[in-house]
Structures are given as structure tokens and as C-alpha cells.
Structure 1
Amino acid sequence: MKITKTVEEVKRFVKPWKKEGLSIGLVPTMGFLHEGHASLIKRAREENDIVIVSDFVNPIQFGVGEDLESYPRDFEADCQLCRDLGVDLIFNPSPEEMYLDGFHTHVGVDVLSKGLCGKTRPIHFNGVCTVVSKLFNIAEADRAYFGQKDAQQLCIVKRMVRDLNFNIEIVGCPIIRENDGLAKSSRNTYLSFDERKAALIINKALTTGKSLLLSGVHDADKIKEEVTKIIETEPLAKIDYVEIVETNELQPVKQITGEILCAVAVYIGKTRLIDNFFA
């Protein structure tokens, strides 16, 4: 497995791979890899000749007061997981390598980035789209793999690729959960013992909401009310949002008639967790 720190190094490996006609799968990550990331890597390994994993905590997607400095990092463990899964190359650049002096270019997707997490994290998705655009160009990947836990991000990246004619396939992969239902997240490490137990209320509420929909309830407000009510039974939980949106423009719906995304963001103590279901 090759470990690279610069764009030039990545290009040096990618050029002959592309010349040989090998397919490249890219898994963009911010490191501190867990089973959720592993599922993306395994899928990429199954579907491509070459697998590249980017391991980069992207500073421009963090707002003021967010957890950029404290975001968990363990590059040695990341490398071991990638070796075990047959990754061909890890790209682990510095912020200075990704954003040269005088960097002034940003990529954003309007409309889809305004609601849900975009309401309280207004610069986040511009940062995501910018770094992902750079990674697509650097890796020259045929496919890129994203988890459905970050559902808004997945929808936005798909729209960016469509709108800007990127020559890459975006593959969304299912949420990976702990045995008790908590969605895998690097930020779960922030949770205390009691907060970890409290966080289970999120999946419980979403499971109930999905059951209501499948039983024939199509009034979005009724489902949101039930999801909200369940989360509010947990004293350590503070809701950021509970929303039901259609999956094209991510706009709120009143009556569910097509495919929807039910997404929540909840603070457990000081830790903000997201989860969702598509239906």
C-alpha cells in the first residue's frame, strides 16, 4: 500500500494506472476510520481495480466554534485498516497542500445546501463540495463512495456531479450501525457512558417514524411529531432538527407521495449526531 502526502505523488501513481485502463474507486474520508468507512472501502474494492482512500480533516467545512481541532485522528490505525482491506493508496495531505497560498476558489450547490444541516452549518457544504471536487480531479476516479448516514452530503455531491458534468459515478452505501442501533460515527467517541446510552433514542425514534410510514401514515407532520416526541423523552437529548424532505431538491413535504428522506440532528450533551432513513 502506498502512502502519499502530496498531489504530485498521487498523480505519479494515477497516471500509469489510467494509462493501463484500470478502474479507480475513491473513498473520501476525514480519517479515524471505523466499520462504516470499512464498508465503503470493501464496496470500492469489489467494484474497482484500484482503491484510493483520502484521509484528510478538511478545515474549510468546519465553522467557527466547531470541533476542527478536537476532531479525532489516528492515522496509524487508519493505515492498518486500509492495509487489511487491500487499499492501494492513501492520500494524507496537509491543509497547506490542499489549499495553496492565495486559494480563492470554492464550489457550492444552492437550494439543497440551505436546509437540514445547512441551517446551522452555513459554510459546511461549500467546504465539502470544494474538497470533493479537488479529490475527484486529483484521483481521476471512476467511482466515489459515500455513506448514507450523511444523506444531505450524498444528495449534494450527486447534484454537483450532475450539474458540473463530472465524469464519475457516485455510489451511496447503507448506514452501518452498532449492534444496539447507533449509527457509526467518528464523533461517537465524544460520548460519555451515559450519553452513549442516551444516544440510542435517535434510532428508536427513527424506527418508529419509518414504521408509521410503512403502516400507511403519509402525513409528514404526524410522523415528525412522533419522532420529536420520542427524542424529547431523553433528558440528555436536544433536537437541532427533525425534517422530512423529498429527495430531489431536499425541500420539506406535507404529504408523502414519493421518495422521502427523514433526517434528524440531535445534540447528546455537547455532541451533535445525525441519522436518517430513506423511504
Structure 2
Amino acid sequence: MNVLIVYAHPEPRSLNGALKNFAVRHLEAAGHTVQVSDLYAMQWKPQRDAGDSTVAPIGPHFDASLDSKHAFQNGFQTADIAAEQAKLRWADAVILQFPMWWFSMPAILKGWVERVYAYSFAYGVGEHSDTHWGDRYGEGTLAGKRAMLIVTAGGWESHYSPRGINGPIDDILFPIQHGILYYPGFDVVPPFVTFRAGRMDDARFAQTTQALGERLDTLFTAEPIPFRRQNAGEYEIPALTLRAEVAPDQSGFAAHIA
């Protein structure tokens, strides 16, 4: 199978660098083909702007969505964006690997998403009607592929527990897993999170890589997070709120997981 790792850490000798190298070796040893988009090494341009098209804005000023659509549909995207989209088409599974900085992904990785997820490629896909509100949240260009996060965090696991001060790790990662990965169609398997990343010795690193290897072995067989499909009848369209009879006692992120 083909696996793309989109990796965002500026230091190759970091824990993230070591985990990325281990993941590549482990996946290749299992017979998979791996590509790595090392965003810092690539000097990836994170800002989304008019320079993402090889032609001038189509209107009187830059419109992030409309100019993205025009560039994608007419072959005017810059080469770096088109190359990453080709990798996504090639991949059977995508791994986003990053350190959690200020409760989210590093800006360079967010910029990869904003530029590569072009209009008509990752969003703005499919019909919009009274029964179907676009091909998204379980449908879309990337449906049939798998995705997983590999994340490091400085805090203790208890800090990210249901009653922890930082909030539950699943809630913190929900916008990425549901909004960035599930939205364009990925089946998202549970994340691999390493806590207390700054307190890593040889023995703990060995335990961590063993656990990561076991997770990578089930990348294509593990049950994905059971996010609810937008167009499968559980949501009112076009309001896109859950029907009254669906999870009636739940609200917030948890209500959108079956």
C-alpha cells in the first residue's frame, strides 16, 4: 500500500524526527511504499495568497475560494500545490505527524492544508440540494483512503484526560480529525499520541516505538473513528444539525460520533 507522511517539525534530531524515521522504516519493512513531505526541509510556503495561482486574480481583488477554484480547474496552480495533491491521490493512507503547539498543529502544517486543499479538490465538491449538501463528512475526493495522526505533546496524559486542565485530547484533535481529515472523505483511525515528549529516555523511547509499530501494523485494518456521515440521514439538510431522535442526550463534539 502507498503511505504519505506529512511531517512538520523543524529539527531532524528531535523526538518527532526519530519517530518519523522509525515509521518510514517500519512501514517499508512491512512492504508498504512511503513518501514523506517534510515541510520544513521543503521550505513549504504556509500562507495562502494570490501567489498560489500562476495567473492574476479573476476578479477585482484576490478571493481565496474563487481563485483557488479557478486555478485548480484550469491548471493554474503552482507546482508545489499540484505535487502535494498528486501525493494525496497516490496515497492509500495519509499520516499527519506534528508536535502539538498551542493546542493545534504547527502553522506550516496548517498552511499545507490551506493551500493543498483547494476548492473543487477537497471542498466545494458535489451537488448542494435539499437532500445532499456537498460531498463531505464521509464523502469527497479522498473517500476510500485512511488517515491517522502521530502527535507529541509536552503535557502529561492526565492533563489531557476528560477532567484534565487542557481538555480531553480527543476534543482538542477533533477539528483536525473531523474537520480536516473526515471532511474530504478520509476514514480516520484513532491517533497515536506521545505525552511528556520532553521526558524521553532510551527505555521509554523503545516502548514508544514498539507501540507505534503495533499501531502502524493495523493502519489498514483498525476500526476508524465512527464519525456520523453528513448525507446518510442523521442530519437535517440544509441546517446540518442532528435530527432530534439522533443522540438526543448529547451535544458538542461527542454527538457527532456514533
**Category of TM-score, reference length = shorter chain:** 0.3 to 0.5
TM-score computed with the length of structure 1 as normaliser? 0.30
Relative to its length, the structure with more strand (as a share) is: 1
Relative to its length, the structure with more helix (as a share) is: 1
